[in-house]
Structure 1
Amino acid sequence: MNKKTFLGAVGAWLLVAGAVQAAGDPAAGKEKFYTCEGCHSIPSYSNAYPSYHVPKIGGQTEPYLVSALQAYKTGARKHASMNGNAGSLSEQDIADIAAYLTQLEGREQEGPVTGDVDQGKQVAAKCASCHGEDGNPPAPNFPRLAGQYESYLVKAIQDYQTGKRANPVMQSMVQGLSEEDVKNVSAYYASKVGLSVVKD
């Protein structure tokens, strides 16, 4: 993908992400989050099969949370539990939950890091324009990766590589990564302070 095509795709994604966001009420979102607590408020909780840590979402960027929940709601993004939970949410519910989660502050890094962080930092250099040098993005339209569980990031990257997750920009960025690269870049982001398990 050349630079012009890449920037065009990023711009289109930003427009979509910005267009779907509504004004959310953090206080209302905290109340509505109760349906999410069973998975996202338990430190080191794992998805049953395939096995990977349930993602940390405390402190995630608001536009990304909105777009992710809407994708689960419509079925564009597949996960049985998430599709079921998001399917019953209204647009206002989604906006409120996102507003609540995004205001939460990151805590100290928590979770296993098994890859080579130094090698991962080198791989992450190609991701910095969107996700920031340390996984804290320069713009809220991009997801925060800092502090995310290593195993979740590995799963997400693999899903982009296989086409299970459809985002042309991400798919083009990760296609050339080896299994070792994927583990190491995931370890690098996991080693940073950013996202947290929701324990507010």
Structure 2
Amino acid sequence: MKNKIVMSLAAVGAALMVSQGVAAEHGAGAAAKGPSTNVAWTPEQLRLVASGDKNRGGQLNRDMFCASCHGDQGVAPTGNWPSLAGQRAEYTFKMLKDYKDGKRHGSATAEIMVQVAQQLSDQDMADLAQFYASFKLPSLPVGVSFDAAKADQAKAVVTRGDGKRLVAPCQACHGPNGEGAVTDTPALAGMPPEYFIKTMHEYKSGARANDVYSRMRLIAKTLSDEEINQMAHYYAGMTAK
């Protein structure tokens, strides 16, 4: 019963955070900066992503040198870059569009992607997205490890959330197996810990701001650095067993 109450409170918290995000997105500051993304999931947009040709995407992965950072089959060779194997096609497409539109920027690695995305058409992005989505979720890159003890410490917040802080369970959006469960919510299983930590700190500081309605920015600000560290190892270890 207690767990059900906590989960209910967490769900209320999620709704409150989205409401706060909506207000922030449409406030005076947002009016000056514009929306966090230009991608709207209309039927036409979804059909475009679904039309992606994974074979052509594989060719682009080679020709555009995407493989040098994300691997020949979407598994990053180091922990400095995200693995994209098994990633939801819609999420990959959105990220590429956000880079091209200047909605995702602020770090040295992001600026590299901004330059790459400028050379891609929407169809190119759909093709790449389907290429990466065609693989299973990745194991960790060679030489990258995770801490099982830290992963265990993150389990409560990931699976149940924290009603006291109005934090919804991470798995409510990212899926019970870290596979991603909502159109613009990414798979996290097998993500290198270093990249996960870097991303969460960018959300926490506001350096990354392409999350719709500030959802991840609001959540990241409630988490301690140690909790972020623990979550990074939790998701990294999901495909390392």
**TM-score normalised by structure 2 residue count:** 0.69
Q: Is the CA contact (8 Å cut-off) linking 2:70 and 2:76 kept in structure 1?
A: no
- Does residue 157 (structure 1) correspond to residue 185 (structure 2)? The answer is no
Q: 1:2 to 1:90 in 2, by over 3 A?
A: closer
- Does residue 66 (structure 1) correspond to residue 93 (structure 2)? The answer is yes
1:176 to 222, 225, 232: 222
Q: Is the CA contact (8 Å cut-off) linking 2:54 and 2:127 kept in structure 1?
A: yes
- Alpha-carbon distance, 1:59 to partner: 1.0
Q: Alignment length, in residue pairs?
A: 187
- Does residue 26 (structure 1) correspond to residue 54 (structure 2)? The answer is yes
1:92 maps to: 123
Tell me which stretches of 4 or more aligned residues in structure 1 moved more than 6 Å: 7-10
2:151 to 98, 111, 117: 117
- Alpha-carbon distance, 1:80 to partner: 2.0
2:32 maps to: none
Alignment of 1:13-52 (within 5 A): 16=39, 18-19=41-42, 20-21=45-46, 22=48, 23-34=51-62, 35=64, 36-41=66-71, 45-46=77-78
Secondary structure of 2:123 counterpart: helix
1:6 to 18, 21, 30: 18
Give unpaired runs (5+ residues) of structure 1.
47-51, 195-200
- CA RMSD in angstroms comes to 2.7
Secondary structure of 1:175 counterpart: helix
**TM-score normalised by structure 1 residue count:** 0.82
Q: Is the CA contact (8 Å cut-off) linking 1:29 and 1:93 kept in structure 2?
A: yes
1:197 maps to: none
- Alpha-carbon distance, 1:137 to partner: 2.2
Identity %: 28
